[in-house]
Amino acid sequence: MMDCLNWKKAGLFLGGVLFGTAGVKILGSNDAKKFYINSLAAGLRAKDCVMATATNIQENAEDIMAEAKEINEKRRQQEVFEDESGEETVEDFKETETAPAAAAEE
Across the chain, how many H-helices and E-strands are there?
A: 3, 0
> Mean pLDDT across the stretch 85-100?
52
The pLDDT of residue 29: 84
Q: How confident is the model over 68-80, as pLDDT tens digits?
A: 999 999 998 887 7
pTM value is 0.44
Q: How confident is the model over 45-60, as pLDDT tens digits?
A: 999 999 999 999 999 9
Q: Say how far apart CA 106 and CA 102 lie, in whole Å.
A: 7
